[in-house]
Amino acid sequence: MIWLLDLDNTLVGRTEAFRAWAADSLAAAGAPADALEAVLAVDEDGHGSKTALAALLVDLLGWDDDVPAAILRFRAGIVERLRAYDGVLADLDTLRAAGHRVAVVTNGTSAQQRAKVARTGIEEHVDVVVVSDEEGVAKPDPRLLEIALHRLGAAGADRGGVWMVGDAAHADVAAGRAAGVRTAWVSHGRVWEGPAGPDVVGSTTREALALAGAHGG
């Protein structure tokens, strides 16, 4: 089987890392008690406007940075606190040892996503890392998945044996559907909204991988 996996909030706890950094930074700055929830709402688990988030942080934290510098600053804070989810990298090793091919397929800037991969050591546990910024195309566009399959030497693989695993319905599941592959949604306790759902739903990445594996390909 072939596994295409999202990075943020699928292999690594991006939301948890940002929350930890933001909570510490806001507390140190003496920000209002409700500031953290406001910041998290603008962040939207990493899918919100980076410009809007940076502007809010400059205001709350009293930074002298302009918006581009503020974006670099909070991104560095995320990387400093980032961790791979417990057990996930071992699961990837198990898949590869069984002959499966594994790729990370992530949206984001090259510098930030490569820094996350380096910080968490993920590259040693996968065959390929594909970053949207480097390819000029981003999920939900299925071309990013096609690039990953090509890099894996699996461009002509039976799509029934390919899984796209991720936490973002609008990006990961949508891209998987558009590419004609099977989809596993990491819900983190959320309820699926919309018409047709993914092939499998797991509350965690490890559960999603296990369910997809049991589902076959």
Q: What percent of the chain has pLDDT over 70?
A: 99
Contacts of 146-149 with CB under 8 Å at 24 or more apart are 146/179, 148/4, 148/103, 148/105, 149/2, 149/4, 149/103
* Mean pLDDT, residues 59-87 taken together: 96
| Percent of residues, the chain, with pLDDT higher than 90 | 96
What is the total count of domains within the chain?
2
R_g over Cα of the chain: 18
Strand partners for 202: 186
Chain segment 21-44, per-residue pLDDT in tens: 999 999 999 999 999 999 999 999
Last residue of a domain, one of 81, 107, 128: 81
Q: Looking at the structure, tell me whether residues 118 and 194 fall in a common domain.
A: yes
Does residue 201 carry a pLDDT above 90? yes
pLDDT for 208? 98
Q: How confident is the model at residue 89 (pLDDT cuts 50, 70, 90)?
A: very high
Q: Which helix (DSSP H) or strand (DSSP E) does residue 18 occupy?
A: helix 14-28
Co-location of 144 and 120 in the same domain: yes
pLDDT at 158 over 80: yes
Do 140 and 68 belong together in one domain?
no
Mean pLDDT for the stretch of residues 65-82: 96
User: Does one domain contain both 106 and 69?
Assistant: no
Q: Please report which confidence band the pLDDT of residue 181 belongs to, taking 50, 70 and 90 as the band edges.
A: very high
Residues 104 and 211 in one domain: yes
- Maximum Cα–Cα distance for the chain, whole Å? 56
pLDDT digits (tens, 9 = 90+) for 119-142: 999 999 999 999 999 999 999 999
Domain of 33? 14-81
Q: What is the mean pLDDT of the chain?
A: 96
Whether residue 217 is predicted with pLDDT greater than 70 in this model: the reply is no
Quick count: other Cβ atoms within 10 Å of Cβ 189?
A: 6
| Alpha-carbon span 160 to 46, nearest angstrom | 30
Residue 69 has pLDDT above 90, yes or no: yes
- pLDDT above 80 for 216: no
